[in-house]
Amino acid sequence: VSTQSTWGFLIMEKVYTKPILVLLGAPGVGKGTFGKKISVDFSMPIFSTGEYLRTLVGGKETSPLIERVKKIMKEGGLLDDETIIQIIQKRLFEDEDPKNKGIIFDGFPRTIPQAVLLDKIGKVKAAVNFFNKEEILIEKLTGRRECTGCHEAYNAAIIRKDGYEMDPLMPKKDPTKCDKCDGKLIHREDDQPKAIAERLKIYKEKTLPLEKFYETKGIMKSYEPKKGVADYPWVKEEIKKIIESAQNCQSFTIQLDLI
């Protein structure tokens, strides 16, 4: 069964009932690091559109949807909202592991129309927004280093101001080589000052409307980790409250359905 969307294409009426978290956060805030920890601690895999697409395109499975994705990517085009939503539906309803207790979206939605469409196929319990002052973000991004082998992330920045206390996260053996694979560490082009300024500008333009969208819905949760990953214990407790609240609401709904 399906319904016609405002955008003119079909949306399946099947609804994803497990908790959905949407991660928001400017480049350099540590969203990816926090997301990985939340994912492990709460058995909620992170859905990355890019990674999932690469898996679909590189796999043996075939379908009209996958063939359409391959064609668009081969031509260097951008996926339209219809295709993206169908990809997400495939992940939620066909490729879901029953053991998962929910899902975390990182990098999606990027626009208000996408956020509205996501609401039609699942219930976003919270938009978790991580933020730091812009000058702190710039320092963190400038200090970032990446392994050329396994892409493990490190950071040379030492930050001690305005209540922020962040220690460098560098290899323990050799500061020039990755601890995991001995790969060489590099300073990426997009972590140079000019590129950083452009990335932060684009993020603001794209994400501020999304923040307001989730604030209006009353599900926006903002956290300012001033000690970086060292702040995760209290962030974990906050996420725990969100998950427990979502599970209680789900249980209450099921009980009402049985009456």
Active site annotation includes 188 = yes
User: For residue 109, is the peptide bond before it cis, meaning its omega torsion is within 30 degrees of 0?
Assistant: yes
End-to-end Cα spacing for the chain: 26
Distance of CA 208 to the CA centre of its chain: 16
Active site annotation includes 145 = no
Catalytic pick among 133, 177, 199, 236:
199
Cα–Cα–Cα angle for 185, 187, 191, rounded to 5 degrees: 145
Active site annotation includes 212 = no
Q: How far apart are CA 221 and CA 139, in angstroms?
A: 25
Catalytic pick among 101, 161, 184, 188:
188
Catalytic pick among 37, 110, 133, 177:
110
Tokens 């909202």 belong to: 81
Q: How far apart are CA 100 and CA 7, in angstroms?
A: 31
Active site annotation includes 144 = yes
Active site annotation includes 91 = no
| Catalytic residue IDs | 31, 110, 144, 188, 199
